[in-house]
Amino acid sequence: MFLENSVNKAYRKGWIEVICGSMFSGKTEELIRRLKRAEFARQKVEIFKPDIDARYDENDVVSHDANTIRSTPVQSATKIMMLTSEVDVVGIDEAQFFDEEIVSVCNELAQRGVRVIVAGLDMDFSGKPFGPMPALMASAEYVTKVHAICVGCGDLAHYSHRMIRGDKQVVIGEKEIYEPLCRTCYTNVLKK
């Protein structure tokens, strides 16, 4: 016999969890892990990603290790509100690509009793805070910073070094464009 989820939804408390770090640090892998656990617990889960991120799949959220979970690509954060009635958990990948409205959307969902799990780059290629991520981290109950391994020296990396020239903040790419570096290696590369 299966037990029904006995949480009284009228008194359910919501919260925001942010998973942040550099490229290749396992942010999406951790997001997928948490969302699959919620699905296993028979919670109603909806997952979203910005429609500009079609690196591995147009619809699904896919980690660098090819782990995947179904998702809905959206053009703006406000679309998420229209697609999340009667859910227990909302997952959002690549949150740095949304505008500042994502912060209001996440807070509104948490106020409605939804667990919101957000993953995104905390810094852009130049080492500056990326889009709405600082505001999301400030309003979150839980923040997890994950690290990649520096390709220069093997230490923990938290910079996403862009190997091609240009000042455009958003350049969608993978290992052919970005590499994870530690503070020292990143600083040394900038000096060249």
Q: What torsion do the CA atoms of 97, 101, 106, 107 make, to the nearest 10 degrees?
A: 150
Which residues in the chain belong to E strands, given as ranges?
A: 15-21, 45-50, 61-62, 68-69, 72-74, 89-92, 115-121, 142-146, 148-149, 156-157, 159-162, 178-181
Query: Is-catalytic flag, 179?
Result: no
* Given the residues 17, 30, 46, 94, the one annotated as active site: 94
| 109 neighbors 85 (Cβ within 8 angstroms) | no
Size (the chain), residues: 192
- List the catalytic residues: 94
